[in-house]
Amino acid sequence: MDWKKRIFCGELTEAHVGSVFTLMGWVDAIRDHGNLIFIHLRDRSGIIQVVFDPLYRRKAHWIASELRQEYVVEVEGILRRRFEGTENPHLATGNLELLAHRIKILSRSKALPFQISEKAMVYGEGLKANPDNVEEELRLRYRYLDLRRPSKQELFIKRHKIVQKIREVLNNKGFLELETPILTKSTPEGARDFLVPSRLQRGKFYALPQSPQLFKQLFMVSGFERYYQIAKCFRDEDLKVNRQPEFTQLDIEASFVEEEFFFQLIEEVLWEAFLIGGVELKRPFKRLTFRDAMELYGSDKPDLRFGMEFREATHILRGTSYEILRKVLDRGGTVKGFVLRGMASELSKNLLQNEYALRIVPLLGGKGMTWMKYVGGTLQSNIVQFFRPSELEALIDRFGMRDGDVLLLIGDEKRESVNEVLGRLRLHLAQRLKLKPEAQFMPLWVTEFPMFELKEDGLSCYHHPFTMPERKDFDPKNTMELLALKSRAYDVVINGEELGGGSIRIHEPELQRKVFEALGFSEEEVKKKFGFFVEAFEYGPPPHGGIALGLDRTVGMILGVESIREVIAFPKNRSGVCPLSQAPSTVEPEQLAELGISLREGLSVALEVASSGESEAVDKESVLHVARLSRLLIEDWEIESYVKELGSIIGYVRMLNQLPTEGVPVTSHVIPMVNVFREDIPRDMEEKESVSRAVIQNAPEVEGDFFKVPKILEG
């Protein structure tokens, strides 16, 4: 193998015609014409056609006859232009080919589990198998083959360029790339930790970091002032399309700065990163407070691409004769709504009333929905007669309605419920009516998040306990005051996806103690969980803040992939398993003994799983996958309930699989099958013939005496 002479396939140009070159790579595709053999040779840079002519070099042609897809070869030959009419415009080197006079097979490949080649050898020729149609589980099982595909390699080449550009921006701003520990202490950060048992400290555990939060703040205490890291993070939580147990984030912290510093910095970082994907973000990013985001869009990560902002109609309808809304308002409730522009012809009265008002909105958490169409200068609906003309005119004016618009209203005693239901309804309709512009990106900052929120187990931080509150003079024992307290936190959101979040941090020990007190932590708990961190802040910490961006999610958005699994080299599947390595897996008893760990086996384990009541993690993508296999059309509003039910079923089956079954005979049915509704046999022949005639008469097609139905399975 003469590696010094090698040139990459994609580097060959017309200027090289007539010269001799040595190429190395994989056989992407083969076409054997008997006398001539053509192959596509692929390396990381691209593909070029290689020709083997027995009249030119018989030995090279003879060796080439042994080639199969994905053999690794070294080829030497003369570069020439293709003959007129044989060019391939879908290849960057489609006007060129290498006439081979020498070839060496460097390694061979077994038959492939799926098609890798993505380029037809002849222009206009279709591939026999499209790699994108292969089941994801199979692609992940052979991920090293999946990653050979040029389209996949292009994703990771661009990911590399995005990361390099991020590093360039931060380096130019005086940031230092520093590393934080992977084996660290378990601290409460909102998700479950992955725990690592210690062999040397029996009975004690490290935790894999959910984020480098504590250590990056300690870098500020250490005086480095500006830090960043492309950090690996780990969270043992349920999986979704954009969530993995192991992920990468861009972690940033800086001293002697305030919010505006991070707004400007991250806008520059994202502007440069999105340019690599061919997208120029509009700067400066729009800004919304948390309260405004919830009031206008019902979400703290709103998608701004399709408008449909909420407006309040409470004051307009306070004395209305429409009893349903009047009762809500009499109890101090709220009525809000939004307008669907020009959708009157798309949404029939039947669809609005029977599907949305009676079925979909209740599934989204609402008690009902009021709708009106604005057609021919008047509002139309099945309840418009219950509103006074002045109320109808005020609604038209309040919502700026134009001919063809549809108004949707939600009322509830709880204002938060109105916003949440409208938010879900807004997203559902935008998806169903295809109102989201695919190529448009609208970034914004969401600011002034609540400092605390109330959960079932008590008060907790909306972000984390190191976030600076908007003011310091709060009473840590006054729950109502704490729930009204805002924080100096900020999230960056694009198209309804939160790409990252951060905050100005607490740097005063006394204020940090007040926050811990508000959360109900005793001094002993604080010392146990955060002792080293709290002590460090007794030694002159600077004012500082930070932010973290989900790098996988950001790269995925820039490159337009459906799942972040496509931009992670070796991801886990929907169940948190690596199909390639089969991790997580069992380990030898000797390894556990060294760690002082023993596992209970058999029925006790199964009973423990059953008693936990936990369902298997199932995401939207899994439900849609099952729906495709079952040939079912599932609406967006149905998915949430299917996620829950399917997760329970899978969790139950997984529990059953852990039960000891040795010696248990196989059974078809535990309980005999009995039809308890009716007899299957007609009472007499006359009735049987009558039923048969009625059935045949209703058949869409008849073949002989049989009722013929369309095929539901394809071969």
The CATH number that applies at residue 33 is 2.40.50.140
pLDDT of 190 reads: 65
Residue 221 lies inside a defined structural domain of this protein:
yes
Question: Is residue 501 pLDDT above 90, yes or no?
Answer: yes
Task: State which of 553, 571, 589 marks the end of a domain.
Answer: 571
Question: Is residue 143 pLDDT above 70, yes or no?
Answer: yes
pLDDT of 674 reads: 61
Average pLDDT over residues 440-454: 96
- The region, left, alpha or beta by phi > 0 then psi within -120 to 50, assigned to residue 308 is left
Average pLDDT over residues 560-564: 92
**Same domain membership, residue 177 and residue 127:** no
CA angle 178-184-190, nearest 5°? 100
DSSP-derived letter for residue 572 is -
Q: Which residue has the higher pLDDT, 546 or 692?
A: 546
Any residues with CB less than 8 A from the CB of 209 and at least 6 apart, and which? 180, 181, 182, 184, 231, 232, 233, 234
Average pLDDT over residues 201-220: 93
For the chain, how long is the longest CA-to-CA vector?
A: 98
Question: Is residue 619 pLDDT above 80, yes or no?
Answer: no
- Whole-prediction pTM: 0.82
**Same domain membership, residue 285 and residue 216:** yes
Distance between CA 587 and CA 385 in Å, rounded? Answer: 72
pLDDT of 589 reads: 87
Question: Is residue 607 pLDDT above 50, yes or no?
Answer: no
**Same domain membership, residue 311 and residue 265:** no
CB atoms within 10 A of CB 581: 11
Residue 664 lies inside a defined structural domain of this protein:
no
CB atoms within 10 A of CB 503: 25
Residue type, 179: E
Q: What is the CATH number of the domain that holds 523?
A: 3.30.930.10
Q: Inter-axis angle of helices 636-657 and 415-432, to 10 degrees?
A: 100
Average pLDDT over residues 158-182: 98
pLDDT of 713 reads: 47
- Lowest-confidence region among 85-94, 242-251, 337-346, 671-680: 671-680
**Same domain membership, residue 311 and residue 298:** no
User: What would the 3-class secondary structure string for 505-524 be?
Assistant: ECCCHHHHHHHHHHCCCCHH
Residue 512 lies inside a defined structural domain of this protein:
yes
Residue 179 lies inside a defined structural domain of this protein:
yes
**Same domain membership, residue 298 and residue 329:** no
**Same domain membership, residue 280 and residue 410:** no
Confirm if 505 and 545 have CB atoms less than 8 A apart.
yes
Residue 262 lies inside a defined structural domain of this protein:
yes
Q: Label residue 656 by pLDDT band (50, 70, 90).
A: low
Beta bridge partners of 49: 40, 97
pLDDT of 715 reads: 39
**Same domain membership, residue 291 and residue 242:** yes
- Lowest-confidence region among 113-127, 241-255, 291-305, 447-461: 113-127
User: In what side-by-side order are the strands of the sheet with 378-380?
Assistant: 311-312, 334-340, 405-412, 370-375, 378-380
pLDDT of 695 reads: 67
- The region, left, alpha or beta by phi > 0 then psi within -120 to 50, assigned to residue 205 is beta
Residue 407 lies inside a defined structural domain of this protein:
yes
- The region, left, alpha or beta by phi > 0 then psi within -120 to 50, assigned to residue 28 is alpha
Q: How many domains is the chain built from?
A: 5
Task: State which of 554, 571, 588 marks the end of a domain.
Answer: 571
Q: Which helix (H) or strand (E) holds 40?
A: strand 37-43
Structure tokens at 84: 């007129």
Residue 508 lies inside a defined structural domain of this protein:
yes
Domain that holds residue 408: 306-436
Average pLDDT over residues 408-427: 96
Any residues with CB less than 8 A from the CB of 435 and at least 6 apart, and which? 306, 308, 429
Residue 622 lies inside a defined structural domain of this protein:
yes
pLDDT of 469 reads: 96
**Same domain membership, residue 360 and residue 231:** no
Does residue 697 sit in helix, strand or coil? helix
pLDDT of 188 reads: 64
**Same domain membership, residue 280 and residue 407:** no
**Same domain membership, residue 37 and residue 49:** yes
Task: State which of 571, 606, 634 marks the end of a domain.
Answer: 571
Most confident of 11-25, 579-593, 636-650: 11-25
pLDDT digits (tens, 9 = 90+) for 55-80: 999 999 999 999 999 999 999 999 99
What does the DSSP assignment read for 441-482?
A: --EEEEE--BSEEEETTEEEESS-TTBPBS-S---TT-HHHH
Average pLDDT over residues 140-151: 95
**Same domain membership, residue 310 and residue 300:** no
Q: Which residue has the higher pLDDT, 401 or 675?
A: 401
Q: Which residue has the higher pLDDT, 111 or 706?
A: 111
Q: What are phi and psi of 125, to 5 degrees?
A: -80, 135
Any residues with CB less than 8 A from the CB of 368 and at least 6 apart, and which? 324, 357, 358, 361, 362, 410, 411
Q: Over pLDDT 70: what percentage of the chain?
A: 87
**Same domain membership, residue 190 and residue 240:** yes
Question: Is residue 604 pLDDT above 50, yes or no?
Answer: no
Q: Over pLDDT 90: what percentage of the chain?
A: 70
**Mean pLDDT of the chain, nearest integer:** 88
Q: What is the CATH number of the domain that holds 343?
A: 3.30.1360.30
Question: Is residue 611 pLDDT above 50, yes or no?
Answer: no
Question: Is residue 167 pLDDT above 90, yes or no?
Answer: yes
CA 657 to chain centre: 29
